[in-house]
Structures are given as C-alpha cells and as structure tokens.
Amino acid sequence: MTGASNTPPSRAKTFEGYRYLAISVVLFGGVWPVTKDALAHATPLWFALNRCAMAAAVTLLLLAGMRRLRWPARGDLPCILAIGLLQLGGFFALTHTALAWIPAGRMAILTNVTVFWLIPLSWWVLGERVSPLQWLAAGIGLLGVGVLMQPWAMLSATGLDTLPGYLMLLGSSLFWSVAILVTRRLPPRRPVMELLPWCFAIAALLLLPLALWREPAGGIGAPSWPHAAFIGAVAAPIGTWSTIEAGRRLSGIRASVGFLVVPALGVLISNLWLGEALGWDVLAGGGLIAASVVLAAKG
C-alpha cells in the first residue's frame, strides 16, 4: 500500500519536471542565435540591459499574479546580489559583447561550461570533497573548451582576433560559478523564483552605467525589437522559471543531462538559420563538454 501510494506522486513530479525542462530547452536553445541576429541592429550592452529590465518586469507581474510577490528578507541578499551582479549582469555583459567575436553556435556550447570552474572552486572555497571522476570531468570540460577555441588557428596572423571573445566567455562562466558557490554557502530563505525580479533589477542597474559608458550612442534598432521582446519578455523570465522548476523536480543527473539539449539546439539553429559551419571542432568540443557534465553529475 505504501509503495503504491508513493509511486504516482513521484511519477507525476518527474513528468512535470520533464515538461518544465522542455520549455527551458526550447526557450534557451534559441537565445544565442536570436541575440546574434539581433546585434546586426543593436549594441550588446543595451540589448543585455533590455533583456534584464524586461525580465524584471515580467517576473514581477508573474509573481504578483501568483500572489507570491514579497520583499526579500535580509538573509536573501547574498543570493540576490550574487545572481544579480554575477550570474545575470556580469554574465550578460561579457557574453553579449563576446558575440562580436564568437559564432552563436559556439556561444551556445561555451556558455554552459561551468564544470571546470565549479569543481576546483567547490574544493578550494567550500572544502567539498571532489571525487576522481569529478576531477576527470573538469579536465575533459577544459579540453572541450580548448578544442572550441581552436588554438591551432591562433597561430596565423589574424588568429588572435577571436581571443578577446573567448576570454570574455571564460570570465562569464567564472562569474556564473562564483554565483553558484555563494548560493550554496549562503542559501536564500525564500525560493529563488520569488527573488528573480530583484535579481534581474540589480542586473539592469549594473548594466545601465556600463551601457552609457561603453555605448553612449548605442541602442536597439527597430528590426531588433522583436528579438529583444522575445528574449526579454519570454525567454529570460519564463525560461529561468522553467529551469528552476525542472531542477526542483528532477534528479541532478537527469537535469544535467537534459540541459545538454540546450546547446545542441543552439548549434542546430545557428547552423540552419545563420548558416554557421558545423565543423569537426564544434562536434568534438561539444561532445567533450557534454561528457564532462555527465561525469560530473555521476561523480
């Protein structure tokens, strides 16, 4: 009787998790190709600012409609600042700017790489035990990044032109990893979903002076506003909400492996829509990074 009563809720929870996972994959899988196309008529920092400002407004309205809108507690502030300043503001500033150097397909893969930062930092900062399998995962992930950076191509006269973009991506993944460490060490009192309006708002406040400083004559042109509306009002808030809900309902391994579909879809869209080449280095580097995530989850 006990087993029968427990099984249906577990299956229902897993089914809901996969439903949220599917929403997250569909929305986030197209983010970088859409952003790359939008930057033909928009500047990176103003586009990132719009993304955060719109997402702050939409998540605020969603929570108000669900009657879950609350002022954050004092104990929530470390999490809000870490996510707002690092995982959103700093991450978007670097990744959107890096799109001037990096194809969207490679971006879709590289923006999902935190494993080679997170594993050593968890050991060093939090004192967590790291298994040999997880160290191997970090090494394989780093190797995948190396393949995608094409160090052999940098030996040519123009090969170093893409280096700033790759360094920005490595910095953005470091920001994301540090934000994860902060939320582990100082977990919020309320669900992260209820903190998203404040996180996105802080990110927007960070990006505004950066945009005014670095792109005083920048902005978003009329052809790019549909892209901006999709990412800011739909993909960012609803995709983030779906990612959080999927993570709550699925095991770590299922969620980690499932989210690997996001970069795969991003590469596919970039190839079909933007005409980006699907070379052996993209397939090999993406495969190595996917293997590192799976190993890290199992370890």
Buried b (16+ CB within 10 A) or exposed e, 40-77: ebbbbbbbbbbbbbbbbbbbbebbeeeeeeeebeeebe
User: DSSP 3-state assignment of 270?
Assistant: helix
User: DSSP 3-state assignment of 239?
Assistant: helix
Report pTM. Answer: 0.83
Q: Are 197 and 12 in contact (CB under 8 A)?
A: no
Q: Are 266 and 104 in contact (CB under 8 A)?
A: yes
* Whole-number CA gyration radius for the chain: 19
Q: What is the pLDDT tens value at each position of the chain, 299 positions in all?
A: 334 444 444 777 778 888 888 898 888 888 989 999 999 999 999 999 999 999 999 999 999 999 999 999 999 999 999 999 999 999 999 999 998 888 888 887 777 776 668 778 888 887 878 788 888 888 888 888 888 777 666 656 555 677 888 889 889 989 988 888 888 888 888 888 899 999 999 999 999 999 999 999 999 999 999 999 999 999 999 888 888 788 777 765 566 667 777 787 888 888 888 887 777 778 888 888 888 877 777 76
Among 232, 264, 260, which residue's Cα sits nearest to residue 246?
260
Among 264, 249, 271, 287, which residue's Cα sits nearest to residue 36?
271
Rounded Cα distance, 194 and 20, in Å: 17
Rounded Cα distance, 267 and 18, in Å: 22
Q: What is the DSSP string of 15-68?
A: HHHHHHHHHHHHHHHTHHHHHHHHTTSB-HHHHHHHHHHHHHHHHHHHHHHTT-
Residue 24 CB-density burial (10 A; 0-12 exposed, 13-18 middle, 19+ buried):
buried
Distance, first Cα to last Cα, the chain: 34
pLDDT given for residue 199 in this prediction: 95
Rounded Cα distance, 223 and 11, in Å: 45
Rounded Cα distance, 140 and 144, in Å: 6
pLDDT given for residue 160 in this prediction: 67
Give CA 297 to chain center in angstroms: 17
Rounded Cα distance, 129 and 131, in Å: 6
Tokens 């029968």 map to which residue? 4
Rounded Cα distance, 128 and 162, in Å: 35
